């Protein structure tokens, strides 16, 4: 949920990804441009010239497409991929192998399978993101062939933007819950990248103070209620995001985490903090951030939101509880 600012360093990483893409493959591996060329010929043989032109455009712009930034995605679609409408991409046309739709064949030929399984992984690791960028409720980590890996989602859906299926800035870590929702509906876009420094944290969580009173009377954490918020007047950005990913209902499962922060809010004060620091500093030689992480139980800095699930929730509630 914390965004990544597109800096020259991030652009360098994207370029490194594009420059190294499939370079370590053996001679059996069919490179995207070769597979796409064969596919375009097949489409032409079947008289599907407008489809073939779409494939040609991918070949012509292949390298640029790998590194274009999100604010240029629609420009590319309108400028170079306008021979087909969105509904055309969903068709099975003569020249498509098997029962596959046109966009699915594009995704195959561009070798998204190999990108998802191998190529993009080291770059997500370098970005330091371990949680789902949509919900921050789960890790986006799974295992594949007994190796820890990332689940990856297309920010701009491959059914409408198949040419972006292996683009660096279109691939982002996502959990199973959010991935499934996105695979059924494709009318909401949330990119984990931004080029606007003030948009790095578009959301925060806020706890309903009446629910705290109810909790204090009953000690039943089920009464605790919190909401995703954004800084726009009507909270519309957060409502749309939360509705799309069903976050209200998902987060009702995490009231126990909020409960612990309420306890800490009541107990932790400056004297307690100093006492802890004096007791343990010699043993562990804490840095201030580490010490806060130790006694609060979560990463306190907003730059670390994507490192561990529920960090956005914990940071929001801790702020409201006056925890420092």
* Per-residue binder mask for Zn ion (CB under 5 A), 88-127, x = binder: ----------------------------------------
Kindly tell me which residue out of 84, 135, 314, 318 binds Zn ion, with binding defined by CB under 5 A. Answer: 135
CB within 8 Å of 315: residues ≥ 6 apart: 204, 205, 298, 299, 300, 302, 305
Shortest Å distance, C-beta 314 to Zn ion: 16
Segment near Zn ion (CB under 5 A); pick from 25-33, 90-98, 170-178, 285-293: 170-178
Is residue 175 a contact point for Zn ion (CB under 5 A)?
A: yes
Is residue 134 a contact point for Zn ion (CB under 5 A)?
A: yes
Is residue 178 a contact point for Zn ion (CB under 5 A)?
A: yes
Segment near Zn ion (CB under 5 A); pick from 132-140, 190-198, 219-227, 271-279: 132-140
Name the nearest CA neighbour of 192 among 148, 158, 241, 149: 241
Shortest Å distance, C-beta 313 to Zn ion: 13
Q: Which is nearer to Zn ion, 180 or 218 (CB)?
A: 180
Is residue 313 a contact point for Zn ion (CB under 5 A)?
A: no
Is residue 132 a contact point for Zn ion (CB under 5 A)?
A: yes
Shortest Å distance, C-beta 48 to Zn ion: 38
Is residue 257 a contact point for Zn ion (CB under 5 A)?
A: no
Is residue 152 a contact point for Zn ion (CB under 5 A)?
A: no
* Angle, in degrees to the nearest 10, between helices 49-60 and 32-45: 160
Sites of contact with Zn ion (CB under 5 A): 132, 134-135, 175, 178
């Amino acid at each position: 949920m914390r965004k990544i600012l597109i800096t020259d360093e991030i652009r360098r990483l994207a370029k490194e990804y594009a420059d190294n893409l499939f370079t370590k493959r053996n001679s059996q591996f069919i490179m995207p441009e070769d597979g796409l060329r064969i596919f375009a010929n097949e489409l032409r043989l079947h008289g599907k010239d407008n489809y073939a032109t779409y494939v040609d455009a991918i070949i012509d712009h292949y390298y640029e497409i790998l590194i274009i930034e999100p604010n240029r995605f629609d420009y590319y679609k309108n400028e170079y991929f306008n021979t087909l409408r969105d509904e055309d991409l969903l068709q099975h046309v003569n020249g498509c192998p098997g029962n596959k739709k046109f966009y699915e064949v594009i995704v195959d030929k561009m070798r998204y399978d190999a990108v998802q399984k191998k190529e993009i992984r080291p770059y997500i690791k370098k970005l330091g993101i371990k949680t789902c960028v949509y919900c921050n409720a789960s890790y986006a980590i799974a295992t594949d062939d007994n190796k820890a890996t990332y689940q990856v989602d297309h920010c701009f859906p491959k059914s409408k933007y198949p040419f972006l299926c292996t683009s660096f800035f279109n691939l982002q870590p996502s959990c199973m819950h959010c991935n499934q929702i996105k695979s059924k509906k494709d009318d909401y876009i949330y990119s984990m990248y931004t080029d606007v420094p003030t948009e790095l944290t578009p959301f925060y969580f806020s706890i309903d103070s009446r629910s705290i009173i109810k909790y204090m009377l009953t000690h039943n954490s089920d009464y605790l209620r919190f909401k995703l918020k954004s800084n726009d007047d009507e909270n519309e950005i957060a409502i749309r995001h939360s509705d799309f990913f069903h976050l209200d209902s998902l987060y009702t499962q995490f009231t126990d985490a909020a409960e612990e922060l309420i306890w800490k809010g009541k107990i932790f004060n400056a004297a307690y903090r100093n006492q802890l620091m004096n007791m343990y500093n010699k043993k562990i030689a804490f840095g201030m951030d580490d010490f806060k992480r130790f006694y609060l139980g979560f990463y306190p800095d907003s730059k670390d939101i994507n490192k561990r699930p529920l960090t956005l929730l914990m940071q929001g509630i801790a702020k409201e509880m006056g925890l420092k």
